[in-house]
Amino acid sequence: MEHEAIVPVILCGGSGTRLWPVSRDSMPKQFVSLTGTGRSTFQDTVLRVRGHGFMKPVVLTHGDFRFIVLEQLREIGVEADIVLEPERRDSAPAVAVAALVAQQRGAIALVVAADHVVDDADAFRRDCQAAVPAARSGALGDGRIMLLGIAPDHPSTAYGYIAVGEPIGPDRAAGSFEVARFIEKPDAARAAELIEEGCVWNSGNFLFDPAVMIEELEQGAASVLDGARGALEGAMRDLDFLRLDAASFGKAPRISIDYAVMEKTRRAGVVRARFGWSDIGAWNALYDVLPRDASGNVVEGPVSLAGTKGSLVRADGILTAVVGISDAVVVATPDAVLVTTRERAGEVKGLVAQLHSEGREEAGQHRRIHRPWGWYQRIDIGTRFQVKQICVHPGARLSLQKHFHRAEHWIVVQGTAEVTIDATVKLVHENEAAYLPIGCTHRLHNPGKIELRLIEVQVGSYTGEDDIVRVEDVYART
């Protein structure tokens, strides 16, 4: 089979609260190591859409995540075009942007979510290639929007289903079928019937000729297309990112691609995928895809179990002991613990909404906060003081800043810091300290080749993050 150029567009703007407390707004599930590969599902997704026939990927994400995306791409050594959505507006505007970008590249678009798990990357790529002929429009093609349909391995109530119709074209594109109809998330009994009838799961990942998607959007959701077009035309290059124009993008209605196009179009097709798949939409779904021990437990981190069966226990650096419980979900992080059952794991989303409404910082914020220059993490707080560990990447520099209510002591514990205090610039080495009096203008820079780590002790009447005046910032945050 001849290969067709495919441009992968990876959607990773989601917030993933259903895997709280590991996944939070400040670092949602697609960026977290969840599946035992040592990489995030975003990284695994990027690595999955590479190889012969796949072009440089496009990553469509939210501005808040731009530096996480950049760092995670650097970790796996992959280059991508990063397009920033000014705000979250559901999937149709994102797919419209994907179609317009793919049209510029003259390639078939493959739109994939960054937070899905696939058990066989080779099979995934083969299935994508197999869908291309049916997706191709023009003289030789049918111009279908080709969905990747997944063979169900259990009667899931968490996924939509697709009734598979007739084969598309008898002489080519073997394995491509018409979509007879879409079925929304069913109850368990109905799900079993659908599987009996040969239906497949709708993975929400799909392949299309940009011209076809643009036509369909024009007919079904013209304002979405207009917004996306304007957002791209007005886009600004900002460091390594392409920042979509906010005013235009903001005019695109909030609507999913399912409602805007897929459920109306007569041009939907589906391939019967030959890989295992999950959207790990909740902790029980993660349990389902991970290897279990003899007692049916999935364990990660410093965990001790006694008389425990069928449970998912994840401990991020905090000893977690579970005694005499079955089918539980226990997730412990340094500042938040979740205990539920596999059956009730779907309620976590509601729990997080409740925690937000109670004003709990842990609902959305991780303890470690990522910044363009590295990260910081609070390690202690008390009356009139706070202590942080700060990590600065090689070459990176924080903004030139000052505080009105706190002095800071910096003790370098790894690497070398270049510290600017008012008019003075000095190097501070491991086991050396610098003192920043209240009100001084200061900057921290890592001039070295290894990560700079330092302990910051803040002392003052107020140690909140908002006591900061940014005088100058290489990351354009002033």
- Minimum gap (Å) between residue 338 Cβ and a copy of itself: 5
105 or 367: CB nearest a copy of itself: 367
Judged by CB under 8 A, the stretch of 57-65, 179-187, 254-262, 457-465 that binds a copy of itself is 457-465
Residue number with CB closer to a copy of itself (56 or 360): 360
Q: What are the b/e assignments for 93-111, b being 16+ CB within 10 Å?
A: bbbbbbbbbbbebebbbbb
Decide: residue 460, CB within 10 A, 0-12 exposed, 13-18 middle, 19+ buried.
middle
Quick check: bond before 8 cis, omega within 30? no
Distance of CA 20 to CAs 109, 137, 465, Å? 32, 43, 23
Residue 135: partners with Cβ closer than 8 Å, 6 or more residues away: 108, 141, 143, 144, 145, 146, 207, 208, 209, 212, 269
| Per CB under 8 A, 351 contacts a copy of itself | yes
Q: Select from 48-56, 189-197, 303-311, 419-427 the region that touches a copy of itself (CB under 8 A).
A: 303-311
Q: Give the span between the Cα atoms of 147 and 338, in whole angstroms.
A: 35
Which of 166, 196, 294, 431 is close enough to bind a copy of itself by CB under 8 A? 431
Closest to a copy of itself by CB, 78 vs 457, is: 457
419 binds a copy of itself (CB under 8 A): no
The size of the interface with a copy of itself (CB under 8 A), counted in residues, is 59
464 contributes a contact to a copy of itself by CB under 8 A? no
Residue 423's Cβ-count burial label (10 Å; 0-12, 13-18, 19+) is exposed
Interface of this chain with a copy of itself, residues 260 to 299, rule: CB under 8 A: none
Q: Which positions from 330 through 349 interact with a copy of itself, judged by CB under 8 A?
A: 330, 332, 334-341, 343-345, 347-348
Per-residue interface string for the shown chain with a copy of itself, residues 357-396, x marking contact by CB under 8 A: -x-x-x----------------xx-xxxx-x-x-------
Give the phi and the psi of residue 106 in degrees, each rounded to 5: 65, 40
Nearest to 12 by CA among 52, 55, 49: 49
The one among 123, 457, 467, 474 contacting a copy of itself by CB under 8 A? 457
Interface positions, 192-251, toward a copy of itself (CB under 8 A): none
Distance between CA 154 and CA 168 in Å, rounded? 27
Of the candidates 86, 111, 84, which has an alpha carbon nearest to the alpha carbon of residue 96? 111
Nearer to a copy of itself, 252 or 355 (CB): 355
Place of tokens 């594109």: 173
Binding site residues, a copy of itself, CB under 8 A: 21, 302, 304, 306-307, 315, 318-325, 328, 330, 332, 334-341, 343-345, 347-348, 350-351, 354-355, 358, 360, 362, 379-380, 382-385, 387, 389, 407, 409, 411, 413-414, 430-431, 433, 435, 453, 455, 457, 459-460
